[in-house]
Structure 1
């Protein structure tokens, strides 16, 4: 009986608090769905694919509406006008990202992607840009990426010669994981399975993050999953750091430098900073672990998913595939493999990648947390309100794009129709109807790497091979499905399995 009274008291008190906050908020926030439910708010309106759920709601409530996720107020934006107001005009108030329980635990609360905007974030942002993801860092590791591209093509070539199917999804993840692993720690470390589970969890809604009475109950089993992933990754990265520290100590003992010869990787740079007493920002082992997790996640799943979506769209559109290959033949010829440096001379390939990012953005939702009360037109956005900009929905808006559900790379080869002086749409966050990498201070740091790696791999794959897709049941199919599954990066629901068929270019390249 006492338990029932306690439960009823909790329910009624939550109901009253929620009602008061909801009614007070209606005069401050834009209108949103009705009805809401006590305790959970509007959580019942969201399915596993949150960006799709929010898109459906926007069709009814408009491009700017409010939600309550539990007792947490949220505003949802799905047009460029409001995206600009929040992410540019009021950028400072919305420069912090939302940190869920999973994010806090799995990134050690020290990551670049999710740390609050402040001195630490600025220091790490500058460091990763200079050493990894900017023009200098990208150029420094170009030969490493070429080696991994060649390994991928050779493996597929072997499968083509044997007439065997290849799991393209798995091989792309291996390649992108190896690239970022070698850039960061100087060796290949198989973390792709953990990383894919982490990105999936980051994209899921944990009710306990929004409903305070659920925090200790773990009704969805998130706590157990988070702890399991944490232990798996923590032991992996702890072993990596320990191994490097021992190697550096051995080199010192033999009169060498801080590391064993060769070019420094990112982990060496972090260890150097950790040992530097004069550094503006202090870096310790926990910071290193968080950054390794963060950058593994950012450059493994997102890049592999982008390459896969582009390949799927080309397989499904043979006329565009033919046009892309013709451009490669005209620029590169058939006596050498396409290279990253060919990218600027392959505008149609670049347009294919941009169109892929329109329909399948690397991250479908730009999520921010309001750090100070802000006025947006006639609305007042309270502190700690969650902002969700639905990039995925804007890419499908017929008022912004002609025939938005059609895959048309040509739309990125001509100036914007509404104002030709703005030039061709690009990926750098200057056109608010198209934000595949975000915009402003919190724009994705890996943009430069992505726009080198994704076009080069896609071009090399279609230059060397035809792909006969196979269904999950093992049957040959003419069209690859484009269903999505939950995740921070929204990968395809089913893995891409194909029988590769070598093209004439493979002969000179000795791929088969």
Structure 2
């Protein structure tokens, strides 16, 4: 059976940031059939076809984790991060008065061509540990170039929970359905609304159930 719907309908009880992140990530996956196929192969291999993917499976699915990380890199839940200086200080020759508000453009940081190869391309493979050296990984962390949840001691305490919940939602949708989009490609035009980046044209898909014993 076919159904035409908005992905936002799937997350009645979810938070807006998780909904937006899941929607953006699914849009990127639908636009990249090779990513969808590789992700599905991993899920079928590790989870199997007799049950739904669960949160406890996420740690065993490195490519799914990479897909979620790449979705968060390109479409951070909060593209602008703010901090306030508690005292006067000097940073690289700039005098910063007490109580100055600092606005960090996380969106621009994570698309900086000096830090990322093909920064505007959806490439989950960049987050696979096996494709990078330990030195490169440590250098990335030191540079703080990946900050979808902020960084340091003020980073979001819910980052792990968010990654797992989004990963589970994306995993279930990839596991259970084939996805079709009118015109063949998702329109990725974005607009800043409130505190998040949203789609100008909400993602609407045709979901074709796969042949699974539990469906």
Query: How high is the TM-score relative to the length of structure 1?
Result: 0.40
Residue of structure 2 equivalent to 1:413: 128
| 1:502 and 2:209 matched | yes
| 1:433 and 2:148 matched | no
Q: CA deviation at 1:169?
A: 2.1
Q: CA deviation at 1:421?
A: 6.3
Residue of structure 2 equivalent to 1:446: 158
| 1:168 and 2:7 matched | yes
Distance across 2 between alignment mates of 1:457 and 1:430? 30
Q: CA deviation at 1:502?
A: 0.5
Aligned residues: 213
Larger fraction in strand: 2
Residue of structure 1 equivalent to 2:189: 483
The equivalent position to 1:422 in structure 2, one of 113, 122, 138, is: 138
The equivalent position to 1:379 in structure 2, one of 94, 98, 103, is: 94
Q: Deviations over 1:196-254 (max 9, x none)?
A: xxxxxxxxxxxxxxxxxxxxxxxxxxxxxxxxxxxxxxxxxxxxxxxxxxxxxxxxxxx
Q: Deviations over 1:31-59 (max 9, x none)?
A: xxxxxxxxxxxxxxxxxxxxxxxxxxxxx
Residue of structure 1 equivalent to 2:180: 468
Aligned-residue Cα RMSD (Å) equals 1.9
Residue of structure 2 equivalent to 1:456: 168
| 1:388 and 2:103 matched | yes
Q: Which runs of 5+ in 1 are unaligned?
A: 1-160, 177-299, 470-475
Distance across 2 between alignment mates of 1:412 and 1:440? 20
Q: CA deviation at 1:360?
A: 0.7
Q: CA deviation at 1:482?
A: 1.1
SS at match of 2:197: coil
Distance across 2 between alignment mates of 1:421 and 1:315? 28
Regions of 4+ moved over 6 Å: none
Q: Which has the higher contact order (CA 8 A, sep 6+)?
A: 2
1:416–1:384 distance in 2 versus 1, CA, 3 Å: farther
Residue of structure 1 equivalent to 2:116: 401
Is residue 169–residue 304 contact of structure 1 (8 Å, CA) maintained in 2? yes
Q: Which runs of 5+ in 2 are unaligned?
A: none
Q: Deviations over 1:109-141 (max 9, x none)?
A: xxxxxxxxxxxxxxxxxxxxxxxxxxxxxxxxx
SS at match of 2:30: helix
Bigger radius of gyration: 1
| 1:352 and 2:67 matched | yes
